Amino acid sequence: MRQAGIERYESRQRVTGHAIPPSLKFFKLQIEFAVQALSQLSPLPADYMSDRYWPLHENRADLG
């Protein structure tokens, strides 16, 4: 999420009121879903950091 800049956009929203771009909101929801799903597994897969468990974020034009 750090690479996608979500924290920066959340801070910007708190300070200026400008909404977080829709693609980042959706990406954050996908990450939260993956975290929830993985946290319910027992045992946690040894390769839980593998890209196969996590959504990809594509830089898009709506990140203004």
pTM summary value: 0.74
Peptide bond preceding 43: is omega within 30 degrees of 0, i.e. cis?
A: yes
Residue 59 pLDDT:
63
Taking residue 42's Cβ as centre, other Cβ atoms within 10 Å add up to 5
Q: How confident is the model at residue 63 (pLDDT cuts 50, 70, 90)?
A: low
Higher pLDDT residue, 21 or 63? 21
In tens, the pLDDT along 6-59 reads 999 999 999 999 999 999 999 999 999 999 999 999 999 999 999 999 998 876
